[in-house]
Structure 1
Amino acid sequence: MLRTRVLGPSERRPSRPVLTDALDLAARLPRLILEARRVSASIHGIHGRRRSGPGETFWQYRPLVAGESASRIDWRRSARDGHLFVREREWEASHSIWLWIDRSPSMGFASSLAMASKLDRALVAGFALAETMVEGGERVGHLGLTRALASRRIVEMLAQAILADERNASSDLPPEAPLPRLSDAIIITDGLSPASALAQRIATLASSGARGHVLLIADPIEETFPFSGQAELFDLEDGLTLRVGDAGAWGDEYRQRLAAHREAIAEACRKAGWTLTLHRTDKPASEAVLRIASLIAASRSASGF
């Protein structure tokens, strides 16, 4: 019998620093980090861009993001207009890889056909990509949570930032801000937000010329809709329910609408010059990580960076 499971709010977003041993995000993170490291090790060498020095030493300023140390604030620049700014080298800002991992309610879904929930798979893929990129000499950060870092502890740092972030835990769209021109974005999401809204965010992120890669995470039953007879459908984002008498009769229209939705996202990626990769949670995480790492390596090679 086909079964489904939805991760509850406490499993997706811890509400306090110290959590019980229940199956929540904090308890799962050590296992997910280990899995991410195994995946990263399995594709070692795909991204081999090590640089010998810090590059140009021109300075530029950007707003302070949540989780950054106050010691990084440039108080003289911040005093000019009342906002907090961080000073960093231009090369550091532009040659960076920016992750964004969707942790909205729909990401907590898992069927009995899947190897993991969409959220757990997204975290493993994101952490593995971060580890792989840092091993290749890149700086990696999470949009809206951390600055770009080349730390060997990048996975733990990302995990801690995500664990502490309650404000954005239900957001199904990345932050609305242009990325530096020579940076790369990796957006990991199930893509179930309105296609027009996601397309607008992609356009904004890419507006200064940043490259990007969207990794769509899907549960196998979201692809096939293998239901028949009476069924009750739940909207995990809005809490709405719908009872249908013959679920099998909905299958064709559902798949057509899903295909149209995905095509709208694909078109947004094409317009921005970004790539789109679909990954199902009944497949190994290494497939998605290898694909995205290869795309980033290819884009860096083609552009000379």
Structure 2
Amino acid sequence: MRDLLAEPRLRGLELTVVRRLDGLLQGEHLGLVPGPGSEAGEARMYTPGDDVRRMDWNVTARTAEPHVRDMIADRELEIWVLLDASPSMDFGTGLMEKRDLALAAVAAVGFLTARTGNRIGAHVLHGGTVRRLPARTGRPQLMALLRTIHTLPRAEPGGPARALGTAAEELRRSARRRCLVVVVSDFLDDPATWERPLRHLAVRNQVLAVEVVDPRELELPYVGVLTLVDPETGRRREVSTASPRLRARYAEAAAGQRAAIGAALRRAGAAHLRLRTDRDWVRDLVEHVMNQRRLAGAAPPPPRPGGGDAA
């Protein structure tokens, strides 16, 4: 059934990205992750709030008006997606399942970065194995990658599993050049198992961590007796949600878990984007991009070739 729905679903995702996000990044990775880029862009008039360290003194002297020069992101970027397609991603009580939200995140990154010749590939963690999709350019290749992700069968609960940290380490070893790595997961594994591999990955690459969350993972609804199923092991447990104390303890534990995930991602040096199945993921992505652009604008300019700071 997912095979039949793949093409219209992917075309719909492409239209969503084009209509609502096109022009925001203009095919550049600046804004997806912090960092001012390394290539000088066009000079423009200075406006209050601009970083004075980016003043273009030649243009300022020539025009007698203060000008700054923006930095643009590196071109011909190689993007690698590390996608967690474990059983816990086959869950959702909001507008979609977590696996569908993960697909939307990968599609947004792909469509927004592919049009300037950037290559995108993926390592897909599924069924105890890592499936490697080579990095290639062009819309047909991107659509093929998204189609492969969309048609993945559901992982069997309790089946063999490959740790997210192990997959991140494998990706680090296989990446031959500096790249943008987008890790899409619910990050429900113990942070101690993936924090160090992500930190190693971020030493040489830019890393964007897309955390996919469902509201039922944050709080229990008051619905009487609820059967809870662990998607990773298949174990079941019946819980009475009538107890306010139980619901409060669940929400407190869930908040602590998410705080630990966020702290581990910060320590790993990854930009953190949280998407929820019950929210407008496009709006959340736009807010993330705006925040990262503000961070990029506040960052000092890169050092000049050959070393030394600007005078």
Q: Shorter-chain TM-score: which interval?
A: 0.5 to 0.7
Tell me, yes or no, if the aligned pair for 2:103 and 2:149 is still in contact at 8 Å: no
User: Structure 1 stretch 255-264 or stretch 195-204: which is displaced more?
Assistant: 195-204
Matched residue, 1:29: 6
For the pair 1:146 / 2:133, whether they are aligned, the reply is yes
Question: What SS does structure 2 have at the residue aligned with 1:286?
Answer: helix
Deviation at 1:154, TM superposition (A): 3.7
Tell me, yes or no, if the aligned pair for 1:97 and 1:141 is still in contact at 8 Å: yes
**Which of structures 1 and 2 has the bigger CA Rg?**
2
Deviation at 1:297, TM superposition (A): 6.5
Picking from 69, 82, 92, the partner of 1:110 is 92
How has the CA–CA distance of structure 1 residues 197 and 28 changed in structure 2, closer, same or farther, with 3 Å as cutoff? farther
For the pair 1:194 / 2:216, whether they are aligned, the reply is no
Question: What SS does structure 2 have at the residue aligned with 1:244?
Answer: strand
Structure 1 residues without counterparts, runs of 5 or longer: 1-21, 51-90
For the pair 1:97 / 2:82, whether they are aligned, the reply is no
How has the CA–CA distance of structure 1 residues 34 and 97 changed in structure 2, closer, same or farther, with 3 Å as cutoff? same
Question: What SS does structure 1 have at the residue aligned with 2:114?
Answer: helix
Question: What SS does structure 2 have at the residue aligned with 1:197?
Answer: helix
Matches within 5 A, 1:14-93: 22=1, 24=2, 26-41=3-18, 42-48=20-26
Deviation at 1:106, TM superposition (A): 1.4
How has the CA–CA distance of structure 1 residues 115 and 290 changed in structure 2, closer, same or farther, with 3 Å as cutoff? same
For the pair 1:216 / 2:211, whether they are aligned, the reply is yes
For the pair 1:155 / 2:142, whether they are aligned, the reply is yes
Deviation at 1:117, TM superposition (A): 0.9
Tell me, yes or no, if the aligned pair for 1:131 and 1:154 is still in contact at 8 Å: no
Tell me, yes or no, if the aligned pair for 1:48 and 1:137 is still in contact at 8 Å: no
Deviation at 1:237, TM superposition (A): 0.8
% identical aligned pairs: 23
Q: How many residues align?
A: 238
Q: Which amino acid aligns with 1:271?
A: R
TM-score, scaled to structure 2: 0.65
Structure 2 residues without counterparts, runs of 5 or longer: 29-73, 124-130, 303-311
Matched residue, 1:86: none
How has the CA–CA distance of structure 1 residues 278 and 127 changed in structure 2, closer, same or farther, with 3 Å as cutoff? same
Matched residue, 2:258: 262
What is the root-mean-square deviation of aligned Cα atoms in Å?
Answer: 3.4
Tell me, yes or no, if the aligned pair for 1:32 and 1:124 is still in contact at 8 Å: no
Q: Which amino acid aligns with 1:158?
A: L
